[in-house]
Structure 1
Amino acid sequence: MTIEQIKELKTIEFFKVLSHEIRAKIISLLHENIEMSYTEILHTLNLEEGNLNFHLRKMKGFVELTEKKNYRLSEYGKITYGMLQEVDSRLWKDAKEIIKHDENNTFSVQILIRRAFAALIDFTLFLLFGATNFLILKNWLKFDAFAVIIYLQIVLLLAYVYFVIMETYNGQTIGKYVMMIRVVKTNGDKVNVLECAIRNIGKVFFLPFDVLVGVLFYRKKGYIKFFDYYTKTTVEKVI
């Protein structure tokens, strides 16, 4: 949706759609979860089907269906969520300013810094986890060089499983949650378990190769990692 199209929308229509608390909750839920099935929305809000159907009809243009028939925010819905967050402190802002403020899908230094710190947080947590368990286990088991190598491989495997599970669930690891970023498909869809499994192979096992190939060959396309390009995934900022 262009700025010109947004300006054509009547303010009264905007408030009419969001005048009900349930509709505002649906906007927030879809922002937090990226996409949700009809049943998930129904159970989360504890509504009757007729009631939910009524509100979804009223929200036409704010939400859209994915290929999997799940609901997600449309581009206008995403802008609307940003507006709702700004209303409490600033009331109305110009739509163009909000669009500029939303840098979710831009290849920026800010996103790179957030990703770097998120990775640092996650790997620090696993370093502490691995070191603590090693200190505990060495009192009970004899560790030679081979055993240490096996132990490190187990820790890396656990880290890989952690990244896959967390990013599949909501696009965020602990580090990404702290840095307010998340993984999504480049088209805005939620990433699935296979995509998370593939993209995290590079992060955990082949990080230098992953970054080197990404920066050298795919940076102009908006990617800094090869496996992000391969799975068509990106990292966006959470408002």
Structure 2
Amino acid sequence: MMFSALNHPIRRRIIEMLARNSVTYTCMLEELDVDTGKLNFHLKKLGDLIEKDEKGLYKLTDKGLRAFSIIQQVPEKIEEASAARRIAAYFLDFFAVILVSLIYFIFPIKISGIIQQEFVITPFYILTILLVFWIYLTIFENEGGQTLGKALLDIKAVGEMNIKKAAVRNFPKAFIIPLIIDVILGRKYKTLRFIDKYAEIRIVKL
């Protein structure tokens, strides 16, 4: 996986080197000051992050360029955020959305001349809040990898994020029951959430 490939200083240096320009095998040997066996090992570990062009020069693939952007976002060693931090961030986000939603629904709001005076919890309101929560998580994670809760706890979602992945990985978090299934499957694969492993998204400590 991309993250294991990036969790070694030599491989990170190779990615950074190739982000500047394409280089020969010999240039890498000289700049990294390693023997051929060690360089071959790390090049193999980088897998589809690198490739050779028609001149035989090593360069980054599109996936390698995305890996370079991750290197720029996270510390030298990628440290996965603890389950406690992730859970705390989740509840901070959840209660923030609940608070804003309740303020909107409870306090009288003038809409088209009609003032809403009473608030009764109905399935419609619950579903609306959950949808708002899902949209909030999706937009913020897609834009910068951080929701309010994640920012407060200094953690971030990194990887090949896009709006589709953000929506899919946050759907279980908004609707609870899928989240329970996600976490149970994650335990089987030694990760907090199975969907993060599938999407190649990791929550890291900054």
So what's the TM-score if we normalise by structure 1? 0.52
Task: Describe the superposition over 1:97-155 as per-residue Cα deviations: whole angstroms up to 9, x where unpaired.
Answer: xxxxx3524xxxx610110111111111112101211221378226575x733223222
Residue of structure 1 equivalent to 2:107: 136
Q: 1:142 to 1:148 in 2, by over 3 A?
A: farther
- State, as a whole percentage, how many aligned pairs show the same letter: 24
Q: Is residue 113 from structure 1 mapped to residue 84 from structure 2 by the alignment?
A: yes
Q: 1:71 to 1:123 in 2, by over 3 A?
A: closer
The answer to whether the 8 Å contact 1:183/1:234 transfers is yes
The answer to whether the 8 Å contact 2:66/2:160 transfers is no
Query: What is the alpha-carbon distance in structure 1 between the residues aligned to residue 169 and residue 119 of structure 2?
Result: 33
Q: 1:214 to 1:137 in 2, by over 3 A?
A: same
SS in 1 for 2:62: coil
Residue of structure 2 equivalent to 1:123: 94
SS in 2 for 1:223: coil
Residue of structure 2 equivalent to 1:177: 151
Q: Is residue 210 from structure 1 mapped to residue 179 from structure 2 by the alignment?
A: yes
Q: Is residue 231 from structure 1 mapped to residue 199 from structure 2 by the alignment?
A: yes
Residue of structure 1 equivalent to 2:138: 164
Query: What is the alpha-carbon distance in structure 2 between the residues aligned to residue 2 and residue 153 of structure 1?
Result: 40
Q: State the shift of 1:66 in Å.
A: 4.8
The answer to whether the 8 Å contact 2:160/2:200 transfers is no
CA RMSD of aligned residues (A): 4.0
Which residue, 156, 166, 169 being the options, matches 1:196? 166
Unmatched 5+ stretches in structure 1: 7-13, 15-26, 28-54, 83-101
Unmatched 5+ stretches in structure 2: 33-48, 50-58
The answer to whether the 8 Å contact 2:105/2:119 transfers is no
Query: What is the alpha-carbon distance in structure 2 between the residues aligned to residue 122 and residue 167 of structure 1?
Result: 12
Range that drifts further, 192-201 or 55-64: 55-64
> In the comparison of the two structures, how many residue pairs are matched?
160
SS in 2 for 1:234: strand
The answer to whether the 8 Å contact 2:185/2:193 transfers is no
Q: 1:2 to 1:227 in 2, by over 3 A?
A: closer
Q: State the shift of 1:65 in Å.
A: 3.8
Task: Describe the superposition over 1:163-182 as per-residue Cα deviations: whole angstroms up to 9, x where unpaired.
Answer: 11111111111111111111
Q: Is residue 73 from structure 1 mapped to residue 68 from structure 2 by the alignment?
A: yes
Q: 1:155 to 1:209 in 2, by over 3 A?
A: closer
The answer to whether the 8 Å contact 2:186/2:194 transfers is yes
